[in-house]
Amino acid sequence: MMLLKILRCYYFLYLDLLITDELFRNIDFTKRRRYVQLVDSVKESGGIVRLFSSMHASGERLGQLTGIAAILRFPMPDLDLNDEHHHHHEIH
């Protein structure tokens, strides 16, 4: 669910991508590949990727939240509403 939010942010021009190193060591190859592609896309579009070590307190905290976050260039007040709408359709 959180990955959908981050990917959606990509299409609305985010400024920074914050991601833990643990996501790059994900045992699921498909998930790991998606994170690597996302990081590559951010760099190619001029965004900044900030990789957090899971051994550092800041990386531990980001990992407790989801392991990934984005800082947006523009406000997106509807982001949570869109996610709830998508989640509603997944359930029904």
Give the total number of structural domains in the chain.
Answer: 1
Measured torsion, CA atoms of residues 64, 35, 17, 91, in degrees rounded to the nearest 10: -60
* 92: helix, strand or coil: coil
pLDDT tens string 20-60: 999 988 899 999 999 998 888 888 878 889 999 999 999 99
Please state the pTM of the whole predicted model: 0.67
Q: Confidence band (pLDDT; 50, 70, 90) for 64?
A: very high
Structural domain range at position 11: 2-91
Question: DSSP assignment of 30-58, as one string?
Answer: HHHHHHHHHHHHHHHTT-EEEEE-TTSHH
Specify the CATH number for the domain of residue 83: 3.30.1330.30
Measured torsion, CA atoms of residues 29, 34, 39, 43, in degrees rounded to the nearest 10: 130
Q: Check pLDDT > 50 for residue 91.
A: no
> How much is the pLDDT for 52?
96
- Residue 3 or 90, more confident: 3
